[in-house]
Amino acid sequence: MNVLNSRFNMSAARCARIIVLLAGGLLWAAAMTWARSGAGPQIPNIFAPQSTPAREIYVVSMFVTEICVGIFVVVFGLLAYSVVKFRQRAGDDHREPPQVYGSKQLELAWTVIPVLIVVVLFLSTARVLHEIQDAPPPARAVQVTVVGHQFWWEFRYPQFGFVTANELHVPVSDPKNPTPTYLTLLSADVNHSFWVPRLAGKTDLIPNRANHMWIEPLETGLYLGQCAQYCGTQHAKMLLRVYVDTPAQFDRWVQKQKLPAWRDASVTDGRRVFTTNACVNCHTVTGTGARGRFGPDLTHLMSRDTLASGAAPNNPGYLRLWVQNPDAIKPGALMPAMNLSDEDLDRVTAYLLTLR
Ligand code: HEC
Ligand SMILES: [Cu+2]
């Protein structure tokens, strides 16, 4: 019986060892693939922060990780040492080893050291929290009000007096002359969460409450993010795109956004389709009667690269498909299919395409 048992134990131990090795190998392969894909600038890689708050969070999290790895190495080292050193040997007398009770030194060591570690972790975290949450906006800061909607983002620029959607433009910040962007986060319906991993931590958008956060991107480019709080069926297609522009690009973009909608005489028919349908109840196009707020502002629709919060590229084909049947792109989106005739669909698409 005993022989059987020990044989069984040995094969179980071998199995466990193989499983651990396999799992380790898989983890390693996943980490390598992930690290390689993380090299692209567009991947929202939390290990490649590009903005002051994200960097501070990264530094403190690495510091915490280092301490934890240190603890792990010490504890595991001691454990491995004892397992090897005090293993069962041939000729052991099987007596209990000497027991140590009430050693002041030991008790003190394993109380004081962990307390010190926790104090260090607490203070370094509190410092970063304070630096991020209590940073006063400098005079040159850009202010943006972000309103979360099911399932898209509204961006208001109160300093410049215009509203846009889904694609946030901000200037790159020069540390010598910082131009961070301060965001006021509101919600029109349910909870959402603003998360662009390379720019800052995530902050929720909660109905009847204004939350605040800021970003200070230090390099130009496109940064991707995502609504990080489940908000309904199309939550997964509530993507965020932050374009970090040079100051000159940003100024040019702002000047363009401030203009009323472009009026093109060749699309009068399409404009009529738009203004005589319910589109105007949900969408704003400045300079026309359309003042709806339920859907994205369309005044400069064609200045955006994507449609419906990153759900599709903004090109004539997808634009027509969207107006014909939003569910084809984003099932459960809160824009109804408007049942336009094919001709009206062509006309209104031609009109939308002039909204540069
Ligand atoms: C009941 C309100 C409602 C009506 C009516 C409506 N829309 Fe929309 N529309 C929305 C909402 C909400 C969205 C955002 C959907 C999303 O991204 O989840 C949207 C998105 C859009 C977009 C994409 C905007 C962007 O920035 O990505 C276009 C273009 C558009 N609508 C055009 C139209 C046209 C043209 C009509 C009329 C034929 C129309 N809409 C009628 C609510 C409406
Ligand atoms: Cu959301």
User: Structure tokens of 12?
Assistant: 């179980």
% of the chain exceeding 70 in pLDDT: 92
292: in domain: yes
Q: How far is CA 145 from CA 53, 170, 209, 210, 270, in A?
A: 19, 13, 13, 10, 32
| Closest ligand (CA of 189) | 2
Last residue of a domain, one of 239, 258, 277: 258
Cα gap 147→257, rounded to integer Å = 18
Examine the domain organization and report whether 199 and 269 are in the same domain. no
One domain, residues 110 and 232: yes
Domain that holds residue 132: 42-78+104-258
Query: With b meaning 16 or more CB within 10 Å and e meaning fewer, what string describes 177-205?
Result: eebbbbbbbbbeebebbbbbbbbbeebbb
pLDDT score at 8 = 53
Q: Is residue 195 part of a domain?
A: yes
Cα of 314 to ligand 2 centre, how many Å?
A: 21
Span of 91-95, 133-137, 348-352 with lowest mean pLDDT: 91-95
SS3 184: strand
For residue 34, is it within any domain?
no
242 with 270, same domain: the answer is no
- Average pLDDT score over the chain: 91
- Note residues around ion ligand 2 (Cβ under 5 angstroms): 192, 227, 231, 238
- Same structural domain for residues 159 and 284? no
Which residues have CB under 8 Å from 266's CB, separation 6+? Answer: 354
Token readout for 166 is 């889904």
62 and 155 co-located in one domain = yes
Rounded to an integer, the average pLDDT of 65-74 is 96
305's tokens: 């690269």
Show the ligand 1 pocket: residues with CB < 6 angstroms: 151-152, 165-166, 234, 274, 277-279, 281-283, 294-296, 298, 301, 304, 307-309, 322-323, 330, 333-336, 338, 348, 352
pLDDT confidence band for 7 (50 / 70 / 90): low
Residue 303 lies in a domain: yes
The residue whose C-alpha atom lies closest to atom 28 belonging to ligand 1 is 323
For the cut 70, the answer to whether the pLDDT of residue 343 exceeds it is yes
Give the N- to C-terminal CA distance of the chain in Å, as an integer: 84
Pocket test for ligand 1, best of 335, 342, 349 (most atoms within 8 A of CB): 335
- Say how many Å lie between the CA of residue 157 and the centre of ligand 1: 21
Does some domain include residue 225? yes
From 258, 290, 308, the end of a domain falls on: 258
* Dist. CA 282 → ligand 1 center (Å): 7
Please tell me the least confidently modeled range out of 16-20, 162-166, 259-263.
16-20
Q: Which of 29-43, 117-131, 290-304 has the lowest average pLDDT?
A: 29-43
Query: Mean per-residue pLDDT for 297-308?
Result: 97
The per-residue b/e assignment along 315-339, b for 16 or more CB within 10 angstroms, e otherwise, is eeebbbbbbbbbeebbeebbbeebe
Number of domains in the chain: 2
| Peptide bond between residue 294 and the one before it cis (omega within 30 degrees of 0) | no
Judge if 230 and 284 occupy the same domain: no
Asked whether residue 151 falls in the same domain as residue 283, the answer is no
Domain boundary among 194, 226, 258: 258
Q: Are 298 and 281 in contact (CB under 8 A)?
A: no
Residues near 323 by beta carbon (within 8 Å), at least 6 away in sequence: 338, 340, 345, 348, 349, 352
In this structure, what CATH number is given to the domain that contains residue 120?
2.60.40.420
Looking at the fold, whether 307 and 342 belong to one and the same domain comes out as yes
- The residue whose CA has the least distance to atom 32 of ligand 1 is 323
The pTM of the full predicted model, rounded to 2 decimals, is 0.85
What is the whole-number distance in angstroms between the Cα of residue 326 and the centre of ligand 2?
18
Pick the closest to residue 225 from 139, 166, 151 (CA basis). 166
The answer as to whether 33 is a domain residue is no
pLDDT digit string, tens, across residues 81-116 = 999 998 888 888 888 888 888 899 999 999 999 999
Q: How far apart are CA 129 and CA 263, in angstroms?
A: 49
Name the nearest CA neighbour of 131 among 53, 48, 199. 53
User: Is residue 58 located within the same domain as residue 174?
Assistant: yes
Is residue 252 domain-shared with residue 334, that is, in the same domain? no
Q: What is the DSSP letter of 43?
A: S
Give SS3 for 123: helix
Sign of CA dihedral 288, 256, 349, 222: negative
Residues 169 and 126 in one domain: yes
98 within domain boundaries: no
Task: Please tell me whether residues 250 and 286 are part of one structural domain.
Answer: no
3, part of any domain: no
The per-residue pLDDT for range 8-63, each reduced to its tens digit, is 555 666 767 777 777 777 776 776 565 555 444 567 888 999 999 999 999 999 99
